[in-house]
Amino acid sequence: MFRRPLAAAALALTLGSAGCVHGRGTPQDPVVGAVVLEGVRSVDEGLLAEGLATRGPVPRPGLSGRLNKDRQRFEPDALPTDVKRIESFYRDRGYYGVQVEPSVEEIGPGIVRVVFRVSEGRPARVTKLDVEGLDAAPEAARKLGKVPLRVGEIFTVSAYDATRDQLVAALRNNGWATAEVTQSAVVLPEEAAVEVRYAVTPGARYRVGPIFVGRIAGISARKIQQQISAVLRSGEWWDESNLAAARRRLSDLGVFGAVRVTRAEPDTQRGTIAVVIDLRQAKYQTLRAGPGLAFDPTRWDAHGEVSWQHRNFLGDLRRLTLDGRAGYAWVPTPFAYRKRGPVASLTADFQQPGALGRWIDAEARAQVERGIEEAYDYVGERLRLGLPLRIVSPLALVPSVNFEVYQLSNATAQVVSGQPVAPGSTQPVLENCKGSLCLLMYLEQLVAWDARDNPLNTRRGWYGAVTLQEGVRVGGYGYRYLRFRPELRAFYPLGRHSVLALRTRVGGLIPINETGNPPIVARFYAGGPLSMRGYYTDRFSPMIRQNGAWVPVGGNGAADGSLELRFDVAGDWGGAIFVDAAGVSDYSANPTEYQTALDPTRLQWASGLGLRYRTPFGPVRLDVGVRLPTDYRAGVPFDQRFPVVPYTPPGTVHREPILAVQLALGEAF
């Protein structure tokens, strides 16, 4: 119920205007000025009110809808219906003794207030719960687990039905494909008690029979069967849930316009059930092109982009994607730049499902890029060879081999290893790089489990991931290190219109038998729309002073976290209140220096408000983050109350702007 004041506060800050209510009535034909539910304590009052025919002022469409509302006409005939709806709502939640008394009060000329006075009574609890017939299916009984409805708890229709569904699922997912479960409940209102009975009829136990695959040009039935064999194979005990798993596995390939996985009639003589897979071919090729503009106070980037994808390249589900981008960048802005120049990239992605059996795919990614950073310019070539394992749908397990080569130029002098750079030099001796050539070779392992209900607009679930890198040397090139970054995100709905979201992650880079600092291209940075929103992109980092400007050079450790309350405002508009925290470490070669990023006394904090507009590609997001002060002593100037950027050269102090405005597509996490 607290979502309304939060939403109203966010809108008031955004729009800066007071609200008004539209609609006039007459004494003979009044309008509804308010609907009041008195005595509602044990159920969701907002959800109850939404189911009534009589409603209070209704928000208008659009961003300012909650501040501009329309009243509806009062319909006396709707009151008896609403009384029955309230009683039904309560009974579904176990309150069988509920009583509702409606009344209508005049609160102004042609305006009435409708009051429903609710006496909830005692909730009915489950006093007896019998499950009969499950002994005939012992394997299903062992997999059943705890059922939603239990003795001693309040009886609700949702838990009553969910228990039946769980019994059916346990049976049909363990071979009893034709099992049926009937349910009955005896309610004793005077005793506030309910006696529940489930009768199980298992039927025969079946195995998976033949799998029939519809033909699609350019894709063999063998390849499709190989893809689903990880979750669905002939001869195994029947598992109804594997039909949905097979459908998801085929849909995730992105090749088919529609996928249907259905079962045929059971073969009682053979004890099997055949599976039928119907596929609808989609367009294999997609071409996209368009302009783009990215900007914040630290960088502007204008570019054009073209992308081509073939989802059945050379047949058998191979996918090839080519992306090209070209543009121009200014650091920090086109109006007062320190650096500027062309930027471009060309990327090729290739994927082969089932390259090494049904579990293991193959992927390759090659990229050439010309870029500009605050500390250096570069031409980079990257190659990645990976073998993703597709064992179960929520799990991502991707080992890979990576090669990255950077030809650096215009590098900041202080990035070199203990040697001054001669004026006008074009070949700076960069740390752990040969001349201007910086090369990274590393093995990487990504392990992730995605239990979110929707990756773009998440309301419930969690996501966990760990990325490990092991840097190696080959022929005198490269850098030996261990780099790790675990991450955890959690999402919990607070009612129907708000979500509490949490994200925490840490990262560290540990040199192994190396001297000097880690290469600048391998370090950690924080700040920006996907990190600590009190700083702009990469600006929360160890810094050096170069040509009168402060330049981030990265650290060998970083930690950040966010706590965010997301709520609906009106239509596709939403808002957020967030608190971010982050810490970074120096880029010293000390193997334990990365741990300072986890020091709670070094964390910096920011809080802010956000505005969201939902689109099919994720929300367009505007966040305003304000860093929090740490020095409250009297007499300290206002700007000096805020923390400094850590790890600047000895004898120097630098503070970034207190406020940062972030514009991005997609949630922060």
Q: What is the pLDDT of residues 412-444, one digit of tens each?
A: 654 444 344 444 333 333 566 777 788 899 999
What per-residue confidence (pLDDT) applies to 408?
A: 85
What whole-number percentage of the chain has pLDDT above 90? Answer: 60
Q: How far apart are CA 604 and CA 580, in angstroms?
A: 8
Q: Which residue has the tokens 């809080």?
A: 607
pTM (global) more than 0.85 = no
What mean pLDDT comes out for the span 103-126?
94
Which residues does 112 contact at the CB level (< 8 Å), separation at least 6? Answer: 25, 30, 31, 32, 33, 74, 104, 105, 106
Residue 3, pLDDT > 50, answer no
Residue 376 burial (CB < 10 Å; 0-12/13-18/19+)? buried
How does residue 22 score in pLDDT terms, banded at 50, 70 and 90? low
Q: How far apart are CA 104 and CA 77, in angstroms?
A: 12
Q: Look at 425 and 518; give whichever has higher pLDDT.
A: 518
Which residues does 552 contact at the CB level (< 8 Å), separation at least 6? Answer: 374, 375, 525, 538, 539, 541, 542, 543
The CB density around residue 524, as the number of other CB atoms within 10 Å, is 26
Q: What is the pLDDT of residues 188-218, one digit of tens each?
A: 988 999 999 999 999 999 999 999 998 777 7
Using H for helix, E for strand and C for coil, what is the string for 341-388? EEEEEEEEEEEECCCCCCCECEEEEEEEEEEECCCCEEEEEEEEEECC
What mean pLDDT comes out for the span 253-276?
91
Long-range contacts of residues 505-508, Cβ cutoff 8 Å, at least 24 apart: 505/559, 505/560, 505/561, 506/557, 506/558, 506/559, 506/597, 506/598, 507/483, 507/557, 507/558, 507/559, 507/594, 507/597, 508/483, 508/484, 508/556, 508/557, 508/594, 508/595, 508/597
The CB density around residue 293, as the number of other CB atoms within 10 Å, is 9
Q: Look at 27 and 471; give whichever has higher pLDDT.
A: 471
Q: Are 62 and 79 in contact (CB under 8 A)?
A: no
Sheet holding 58-59, edge to edge: 20-22, 68-70, 58-59
Residue 125, pLDDT > 50, answer yes
Residue 9, pLDDT > 70, answer no
Residue 411, pLDDT > 80, answer no
How does residue 1 score in pLDDT terms, banded at 50, 70 and 90? very low
Q: Are 452 and 490 in contact (CB under 8 A)?
A: no
Cis omega before residue 518 (within 30°)? Answer: no
How does residue 546 score in pLDDT terms, banded at 50, 70 and 90? confident
For 1-26, give one letter per residue: b (16+ CB within 10 A) or e: eebeebbeebbeebeeeebeeebebe
What mean pLDDT comes out for the span 141-154?
92
Q: What is the pLDDT of residues 368-410, one digit of tens each?
A: 999 998 888 999 999 999 999 988 778 999 999 999 999 988 8
How does residue 23 score in pLDDT terms, banded at 50, 70 and 90? low
Strands 573-584 and 557-570: antiparallel
The 3-state DSSP composition of the chain as helix, strand, coil percent (nearest 5) reads 15, 45, 40
What per-residue confidence (pLDDT) applies to 412?
A: 61
Residue 303, pLDDT > 90, answer yes
Q: How far apart are CA 413 and CA 54, in angstroms?
A: 72
* DSSP label of 233: -
Please name which of 274, 227, 222 lies closest in space to residue 248, comparing C-alpha atoms. 227
What mean pLDDT comes out for the span 35-52?
93
What mean pLDDT comes out for the span 588-602?
77
Please name which of 522, 502, 504 lies closest in space to residue 512, comparing C-alpha atoms. 522
What per-residue confidence (pLDDT) applies to 16?
A: 36
What per-residue confidence (pLDDT) applies to 417?
A: 41
What per-residue confidence (pLDDT) applies to 323?
A: 97
How does residue 60 score in pLDDT terms, banded at 50, 70 and 90? low
Q: How far apart are CA 219 and CA 213, in angstroms?
A: 11
Q: Are 663 and 529 in contact (CB under 8 A)?
A: yes
What mean pLDDT comes out for the span 322-341?
93
Please name which of 510, 594, 598, 590 lies closest in space to residue 561, comparing C-alpha atoms. 598
Q: Which residue has the tokens 């009062």?
A: 74
Residue 14, pLDDT > 60, answer no
Q: How far apart are CA 260 and CA 243, in angstroms?
A: 9
What per-residue confidence (pLDDT) applies to 4?
A: 39
Average pLDDT of every residue of the chain: 87
What per-residue confidence (pLDDT) applies to 181?
A: 97
Residue 77, pLDDT > 60, answer yes
What per-residue confidence (pLDDT) applies to 314?
A: 87
What mean pLDDT comes out for the span 74-80?
93
Residue 240, pLDDT > 60, answer yes
How does residue 21 score in pLDDT terms, banded at 50, 70 and 90? low
